[in-house]
Structure 1
Amino acid sequence: MVLFMGRELTWWGDQAINLGLNAKANEAGKVSYTVYLIFIALQAAGPFVGLLVNKPSRVQRKDGVPVDMSITNNSWKELILTAKLFFSKEFLLIIPLIGQGVYTEAVMFTYASLWFTVRARALGSFLSGIVAIIAGNLLGAFIDRLSLPLKTRARGSFFVVLGLQGVWWIWATVLVTDFHRNKIIYDWVDPGFGKAFALFLFWVAGFQLNYLFL
């Protein structure tokens, strides 16, 4: 969970830059090339920042137990165990859920690029990190409630996450049908922006919930 939250915080910082550089772009089109140059510079700095990270062999849990690195010390053993996992019943049965969860990411960003101005898309990217962190923590708080039986937490999460996913797709079908009819591009000052923009944020929340639950 910590790794996921760290990833979202990093994404949020990147998108703050994106929003700041495109805040005046109230029209359809592409983001400023300056955004990409800054992102490239940040990525290029990654290997040097990585030198500051502690060695895996020195990592330990909060209770003082060191992390077991036995698998990663034997690449062949890791490949065999990974292959066995890929062909296990548990993994094969979960593939459809992975497919429907990951598919959302392509659709929601296409949705944003088709029906929103540059700065509205930048706002969506900025808020998506916040929404993902909130959704992920709410799911984690429920799953970690030891006062409830594990079966209740697992099944309850499954039906809520997948049920909401169905709601988002129905909502999207209704909205996009209307968008095709009216050929509108939404900016954040336009009437009707809220209902169109909210779907994008709910899609982000749904993607994060699916991802963490899986």
Structure 2
Amino acid sequence: MEGPMKAPPPQTHAGNDDNLIAGYDTNHNVDMERYQREVPLWKRVHQHSLTQMLFISVQAFCGPAIADAITGLGAGGLATPRTSNIRFAIETSIEAVFCLFGGVLVNMIGAKWGLVIGAISFPLFGASYYCNSAFNNQWFLLATAPITGIGFAFWNVAEGAYVMSIAPESKRGKYLALWIVSRNLGQLVGGSINLAKNASSDAGGGISASTYIPFIAIEALAIPFAFGICEMAHVVRSDGTRILTPPKLSHYDETKEIIRTYMTKVVYCCAIFIIWSYFYNGPWSTYLALYFSVRARALSSLISPFFCIIGCFALGYVTDLKGYSQRRRAQFGFWLVIILNTAVCIWSLIMQVKFIRHDPGPIDWSDKRYAAAFLPYFFIQTTGPLAQVYNYWILSSFAKSGQDNVRFSAALKCIQCVGSAIAFGVSAADSSPLVGMILNCALMLASIPGMWYITDHTPDRIPADVIAEEMEAEERRRREEGVEHEGLDKKDNTDVANVHAVTVLA
């Protein structure tokens, strides 16, 4: 690392704006000696990539995880799954529409404010189920679906961009594992509440209305952590680098970039895999609601996250393996996900066929059939999230900047919501989870050719990091030649980016 700079580098405003980071060595690296000397400790801690990932993880804990915990009660804890499935179909359809061009919206207002908008909508999710259970007003449950759909769209696009961008290259899998584990820790807390409130109910039906009150309180805690998020340009990674963030484009140009992103091979080859990785929620939630007692469903939301935590860190270890190229690690991770999910799908289909032939009624945890019936649900709650983590990891492997990750995140969430809407729509139309399970298996098989191609063409390193290093080297060369600190002009930046663009997937 070179010594402290005599002048701030271009487009960083070092020393002129207290809200920006002092001491960038170039557009990519941070002069850590100057940074530690000039920036207060509290701000360095706040801007650190791990701190920001923890802030995101807390929000994931309070928002999506609690929503998943409510879903984990089986149909949101309602006595019958139909209304909840209709609500999820509406919500995810609206979310898909807003995610379609969510990258434009998030890049316009900034990822931080996308997270704030989303966090404000979180408590409404739990409140809609509380009002349904306490006052039996299904209209409110359905009427709030578009609002929470829009809120989750903003939050998920911004969240995805953050988790795909802020990790150091060598720790990306572990950072993603930390994030997905936080979602499951939320389910763990939610499961504890569920079980405490419903431990005495060994029959079927809906859960106690008071169960939702702690959920609403936890969902509201996401709001202050959303305000604590830094913009991506201000984050300093643990390895002394920052996120490559080119100047913002006009709304028209950003829309063109979003459309271009949807047309890249990396997106449409991953599309079926993305749909499949979220499709399981519909049929398996219906499976839990139809065949298990209230307290057995509450127990499921408590114990389901445990193995997922182990599995996610195991996948993070595989995708961060030292001594292997990014392409080889992509192949290892993909086949690990497919093999595990294949085993769970076969087991689930066998159990569902048995239940169609002989309806078991509400299975309680004291029933001798409980273990065999519950384990397929338990394992799908592990293998499904593994596929979701892999989605973010593989797409971020192709990003050329932080803005690219916003666009990839918007595309991912849009496609994911389409899959979820179809899954819950199928579950609402068909009382048996069998059709949804068969579709889930078919989607998994159909996703293999496209993902096989993508993993075989994964770049050996993240393009954004390679581009940033080239920009740093060019800037250093200019300084050594005595050129004034004018930075790379637009043409220079474009030329460098084009050299390293993954053209085979463009």
Residue 43 (1) aligns with residue 219 (2)? yes
Q: Tell me: CA distance 1:94–1:145, structure 2 relative to 1, closer, same or farther (3 Å).
A: same
Matched, 1:207 2:410: no
Residue 368 of structure 2 is aligned to residue 191 of structure 1:
yes
Paired amino acid for 1:62? S
Deviation sequence 1:143-184 (CA, Å, 0-9, x none): 211134444432232223113222222211211111122211
TM-score, normalised relative to structure 1: 0.87
Once the two structures are superposed, the pairs formed by residues 135-150 of structure 1 within 5 Å of their partners are: 135-150=311-326
Cα shift at 1:111: 1.0
Q: For the residues of structure 2 that align with 1:78 and 1:156, how far apart are their CA atoms?
A: 34
Name the residue aligned to 2:230: 55
CA distance in 2, matches of 1:68, 1:37: 42
Q: How far is 1:58 from its partner?
A: 4.2
Counterparts in 2 of 1:151 and 1:66: CA distance versus 1, 3 Å: closer
Secondary structure (helix, strand or coil) at the match of 1:55 reads coil
Pairwise CA distance, 1:191: 0.6
Aligned counterpart in structure 2 of residue 65 of structure 1, from 225, 237, 241: 241
- Give the whole-Å Cα distance in 2 for the aligned partners of 1:119 and 1:150: 44
Counterparts of 2:288 and 2:358, CA distance in 1: 16
Larger Rg: 2
- Select which of 84, 96, 117 maps to 2:272: 96
2:333 counterpart (154, 157, 161)? 157
The letter for the 2-side match of 1:118 is V
Distance in 2 (alpha carbons) for counterparts of 1:61 and 1:155 = 26
What does 1:76-155 align with in structure 2 at a 5 Å threshold? 76=251, 78-155=254-331
Sort the Cα spacing of 1:61 and 1:79 in 2 relative to 1 into closer, same or farther, 3 A: farther
Shift, 1:70, TM fit = 4.3
The answer to whether the 8 A contact 2:202-2:364 is kept is: yes
Rounded Cα–Cα distance in structure 2 between residues aligned with 1:114 and 1:96: 28
Q: Aligned equivalents of 1:20 and 1:79: distance in 2? A: 49
Shifted more, 101-110 versus 147-156: the winner is 147-156
In the alignment, is the contact (CA less than 8 A) between 2:305 and 2:382 conserved in 1? no
Tell me the TM-score normalized by structure 2: 0.39
Q: Is the 8 A contact 2:318 2:332 kept in 1?
A: no
Deviation at 1:78, TM superposition (A): 4.4
How far is 1:17 from its partner? 1.3
The 3 A distance-change label for structure 1 pair 10 and 79 is: farther
Structure-1 residue corresponding to 2:206: 30
User: Is the contact made by 2:295 and 2:364 (CA closer than 8 Å) also made in structure 1?
Assistant: yes
Q: Which of 27-36 and 58-67 deviates more?
A: 58-67
Q: Deviations 1:109-161 (Å, cap 9, x if unpaired)?
A: 11111111111111111122222221111111112111344444322322231
Q: 2:339 & 2:207 partners in 1: Cα distance?
A: 34
Unaligned stretches of 5+ residues in structure 1: none
Q: CA RMSD in A?
A: 2.2
Q: 2:222 & 2:381 partners in 1: Cα distance? A: 26
Matches of 1:45 and 1:160, distance apart in 2: 35
Q: Structure 2 CA distance, aligned partners of 1:74 and 1:130?
A: 43
Separation in structure 2 between the aligned mates of residue 161 and residue 172 of structure 1, nearest angstrom: 17
Paired with 1:31 and 1:6, the residues of 2 have a C-alpha distance of 25
Greater mean alpha carbon deviation, residues 197-206 or residues 148-157: 148-157
The residue type equivalent to 2:348 in the other structure is A
Q: Pick closer, same or farther for the CA change 1:34–1:203 going to 2, 3 Å.
A: same
* 2:201/2:294 contact within 8 Å kept: yes
Q: Is the 8 A contact 2:364 2:370 kept in 1?
A: yes
Number of aligned residues? 212
Aligned structure 1 segments of 4 or more residues deviating by more than 6 angstroms = none
The CA distance in 2 between the partners of 1:49 and 1:146, in whole Å, is 33
Q: For residues 126 and 186 of structure 1, what CA distance do their matches in structure 2 show? A: 17
User: Distance in 1 between the 2:260 and 2:267 partners?
Assistant: 10
Which segments of 5 or more consecutive residues in structure 2 lack a partner in the other structure?
1-175, 392-506
Return the offset for 1:42. 2.5
**How far, CA to CA, are the matches of 1:149 and 1:157 in structure 2?**
12
